[in-house]
Structure 1
Amino acid sequence: MNLSIFFEPLSEDVFAALNKPRTLGSYISRFVSKFPDWRSADIAILGVNETRGRSNDEVPEAISAQTPARLVRRKLYSLNKGSGRCQIVDLGNLRPGITLEDTHLRLKEIVEVLISHNTLPVIIGGSHDLEYGQYMGYEHLDRVVNMVTVDSSVDMTEDTDAPHNKKQLRQILMHEPNYLFSLSQIGYQSYLVEPEVMATLEKMHFEAYRVGEVHRSVQEMEPVVRVADLLTFDISAIRYQDAPAAEPANPFGLTGEEACQICWYAGLNDNLTSLGIYEYNLEQDEREVTAMTIATMIWYFIEGFYHRKNETDFNSRHFTKYAVAFAEDNPDRMIFYKSKNSEKWWLEVEPLSTDKGSRIVPCSYEDYLQATKGEVPNRWILTQARIG
C-alpha cells in the first residue's frame, strides 16, 4: 500500500540543525522528499493536525508549518539517543479528511496497515476523539483488544451537542463489531466526571484510577498499562505546571515525571502496538514547556520499547509458577506467574463458563500478597466478570 498519498512531507530546514551525532533526530528517517521505508521500521511517528473534534467545526484546518507535531518533533529530535538500536521513521503529517469522520477513517486505515506489518504508530494529535480512529485500526485483527486511556475526565457524555472529543469513548463502546475486552482509565479527577459515567464503567467491569491513586504509587499503574494493546494520552491529565498547553487549564493532575513513567511502562509492554498523544494546543504553549513534556514522554516510550523482554511464553523456564490455595479444605487455588528476568507478575483467571478458556493477565506483587492472605484480588474479579 502506498501510504505516502495520505501524508504531507516535512520541511527539511526545520530539522537541519538537529542532525547532530548521538541525537535522536540523526537516527530517524523522515519524509522530506522521499517517503521512508516504514515496513522495516519498528516505530513510525505521524502528526495529525485535526482539531475539529474540539468544537464540532466541520471546516478543516489547513496544514501549516506551525503544526503542533512540528514543535514536538523539534524537541524530540534534539534529545540524545538512548541505548540500543533505533529503527524509527517519521511519516510526516496526515492529510485531514473533508469531514472529521473521514479523518477518523484515514487514521484507522493507517493504524491498521502499520500494525499489520509490525510497525508501531506513535500519533501526535489533534483532538482526543482521534483515538476512535486509532481504535478502529484494530478491527481487522479478529480478536478482542485491551485499551488504556490517560485522561483527567472520562469522555463518555450523552450530550449530543457536546464536541466529539467529549464522547469518543461512547462511540468506541457502541462500535460494531464490538472487539473491546477491557478499558482502563488512568488519572481521572472525580469532580470532572459525572457519577453516571463512573457507574457505567463499573457496570461494564472496567477499571478507573483517580489521579490520587497514581500519586500514591505510580508503580501500581504498571500492570494496568501492561495489559493494553493500545494506549491514548490526553495531556489534560497532566498538571498545568508541566503541560500548560491544555484546554481548559488544569492546576491539578499527573506530574510530568508520572506521565513519562506511564509512557515507559507502555513502551515495555510486549503487547502494545500503538500510542496516541492528544490535545496539545500549540497557541497556549508560549514557552514550549508542553512540547518538551510530550517529547520526553515519547523518548521514554521509545526507550521502553527497545528494552522489551518478549515475556509471553509462561511455560518457559523464564517463569516461576505459584499456586496459592485459599484453605486446606478448599480445592480452589489461584495461579500466579513471575518472570525471572523482569520480576513482573501475571495472574491466571478461570472463567465462570466451562466452554471458555482461562486468561493470563498482568498483575502486581500486591495482588499475590493479597491472595496469600485468602483475599481475592479485585483484578481477578473484574477479569472473570468480563470473560463470563
Structure 2
Amino acid sequence: MNLSIFFEPLNEDVFAKLNKPRTLGAYVTRFVSKFPDWRGADIAILGVNETRGRSNEEEPVATVATSPARAVRKTLYTLHKGSGRCKIVDLGNLRAGITLEDTYLRLKEIVEVLISHNTIPIIIGGSHDLEYGQYLGYEHLERVVNMVTVDSSVDMTQDTDAMPNKKQLRQILMHEPNYLFSLGQIGYQSYLVEPEVMATLEKLHFEAYRVGEVHRNVQEMEPVVRVADLLTFDISAIRYQDAPGYAPTNPFGLTGEEACQICWYAGINDTLTSLGIYEYDPELDERGLTAMTISTMIWYFIEGFYHRKNEVDFSSKYFTKYAVAFNDEPDRMVFYKSKQSEKWWLEVEALSDGKGSRIIPCSYEDYLQATKGEVPNRWIVTQARIG
C-alpha cells in the first residue's frame, strides 16, 4: 500500500539543524522529499493536525505553524539517542479528511497497515477523539483488544451536545463489531467525571485509577499498562506546572515524571502496538515546556521498546509457577513470575465450561494478597469479563 498519498512532507528547513551526531534526529528517517521505507522500521512517528473534535470549526484549526507534532519534533530530535538500535521513521503529517469522520477512517487505515507490518505508530495529535480512529485500526485483527487511556476525565459523557473529544469512549463502546475486551482508565479526577460514567465503568468491569492512586504508587500502574494493545494519553492528565499547553488548565494531575514512567511501561509492554498523545496546543505553550514533556515521554517509550523481553511463553524455563491454595472458590490461584524481569502474571479461569482461561499481568501485591486468602480485584473483574 502506498501510504505516502495520505501524508504531507515535512519542511526540512525546520529540522536541518537537528541532525547532530548521537541525537535522535540523526537516526530518524523523515519524509521530506522521499517517503521513508516504513516496512523495515520498528516505530513510525506521525502527526495529525486535526482539532475539529474540540471546536465547532468546519475545518481543522491547526496549521503547519501551530502543528502539535511540529513543536514536539523540534524538541524530540534534539534529545540524545538511547541504547536501542533506533529503526525509526517519521511519516510526516496525516492529511485531514473532508470531515472529521473521514480523518478517523484515514487514521484507522494507517494504524491497521502499520501494525500489520509490526511497525508501532506514535500518533501526535490533535484532539483526543482521534483515539477512535486509532482504535478502529485494530478491527482487522478479528480478536478482542485491550485499551488503556490516561486522562483527567473519562470521555464518555451522555450529553449529546458535547464535543466529540468528550464522548469518544462511548463511541468506542457502541461500535459494532465490539472487540474491546478491557479498558483501563488512569489518572482521572473525580470532580471532572460524571457519577453515571463511573457507574458504567464499574458495571462493565473496567478498571479506573484516580490520580491520587498514581501518586501513591505509580509502579502499580505497570500491570495496568502491560495488558494494553493500545495506549492513549490526553495531555490534560498532566498538571499545568509540567505541561501548560492545553485548555482548560488543570492545576492538579500527574507529574511529568509520572507521565514518562507510564510511557516507559508502555514501551516495554510486549503486546502494545500503538501510542497516541493528544490535546496538545502549541499556541498555549509559550516556553515550549509541554513540547519538552511530550518529547521526553516519547523518548522513554522508544527506550522502553528497545528493552522488551518478549515474555509470552509461560511454559518456558524463564518463568516460575506459583500455586496458591484457597478454601473456597476458586480452590487455587496460579501465578507466574519472570526470572528475567521479575514481573508477575495471574491465570484466571472462566466461569463457563469450554472458555478456557486467560493469563493477565498483575503485581507482586496481588500475589501477596492471594497468599492471605484474599481474591485480587484483577482476578474478579477479569473473570467477570470472560464469563
Distance 1:330 1:179, change over 3 A: closer
Alignment of structure 1 residues 12-161 onto 2, 5 Å: 12-61=12-61, 63-161=63-161
Match of 1:290 in 2: 290
Give the letter for the 1:207 counterpart: E
* Structure 2: gaps (5+ residues): none
Q: Distance in 2 between matches of 1:72 and 1:148?
A: 23
- Asked if the contact 1:56–1:164 (Cα under 8 Å) also holds between the matched residues in 2, the reply is no
Task: Give the drift of 1:252.
Answer: 0.1
Match of 1:309 in 2: 309
Give the letter for the 2:319 counterpart: F
Q: Deviation per CA, 1:23-53: give whole Å up to 9, x if none.
A: 0000000000000000000000000000000
- Asked if the contact 1:67–1:282 (Cα under 8 Å) also holds between the matched residues in 2, the reply is yes
Match of 2:339 in 1: 340
Distance 1:188 1:331, change over 3 A: closer
Task: Give the drift of 1:176.
Answer: 0.3
Alignment of structure 1 residues 136-285 onto 2, 5 Å: 136-285=136-285
User: How many residues in Structure 1 have an aligned counterpart in Structure 2?
Assistant: 387
SS at match of 1:114: helix
Bigger mean CA offset, 54-63 vs 217-226: 54-63
Bigger mean CA offset, 214-223 vs 52-61: 52-61
Give the letter for the 1:335 counterpart: V
- Say yes or no: does 1:8 pair with 2:1: no
Task: Give the drift of 1:331.
Answer: 8.0
Match of 2:369 in 1: 370
Q: Distance in 2 between matches of 1:59 and 1:23?
A: 36
Q: Distance in 2 between matches of 1:54 and 1:109?
A: 22
- Asked if the contact 1:60–1:99 (Cα under 8 Å) also holds between the matched residues in 2, the reply is no
Task: Give the drift of 1:62.
Answer: 6.4
Task: Give the drift of 1:370.
Answer: 0.3
- Asked if the contact 2:64–2:70 (Cα under 8 Å) also holds between the matched residues in 1, the reply is no
SS at match of 1:115: helix
* Structure 1: gaps (5+ residues): none
Q: Distance in 2 between matches of 1:339 and 1:68?
A: 39
RMSD of the TM alignment (CA)?
A: 1.0
Q: Distance in 2 between matches of 1:184 and 1:292?
A: 26
Give the letter for the 1:150 counterpart: V
Q: Distance in 1 between matches of 2:62 and 2:330?
A: 65
Task: Give the drift of 1:204.
Answer: 0.3
SS at match of 2:184: strand
Match of 2:350 in 1: 351
Q: Distance in 2 between matches of 1:357 and 1:80?
A: 46
TM-score (norm 1): 0.99
Q: Distance in 2 between matches of 1:59 and 1:332?
A: 59
- Asked if the contact 1:235–1:278 (Cα under 8 Å) also holds between the matched residues in 2, the reply is yes
Task: Give the drift of 1:167.
Answer: 0.2
Q: Distance in 2 between matches of 1:207 and 1:137?
A: 23
TM-score (norm 2): 0.99
Distance 1:62 1:367, change over 3 A: closer
- Asked if the contact 2:48–2:69 (Cα under 8 Å) also holds between the matched residues in 1, the reply is yes
Q: Deviation per CA, 1:65-104: give whole Å up to 9, x if none.
A: 4311111001000000000200000000000000000000
SS at match of 2:45: strand
- Asked if the contact 1:229–1:273 (Cα under 8 Å) also holds between the matched residues in 2, the reply is yes
Task: Give the drift of 1:205.
Answer: 0.2
Q: Distance in 2 between matches of 1:39 and 1:357?
A: 36
**Percent of aligned positions that are identical:** 86
- Asked if the contact 1:322–1:336 (Cα under 8 Å) also holds between the matched residues in 2, the reply is yes
Give the letter for the 2:349 counterpart: E
Task: Give the drift of 1:63.
Answer: 3.9
Q: Distance in 1 between matches of 2:383 and 2:11?
A: 51
Distance 1:112 1:330, change over 3 A: closer
SS at match of 1:140: helix
Give the letter for the 1:109 counterpart: E
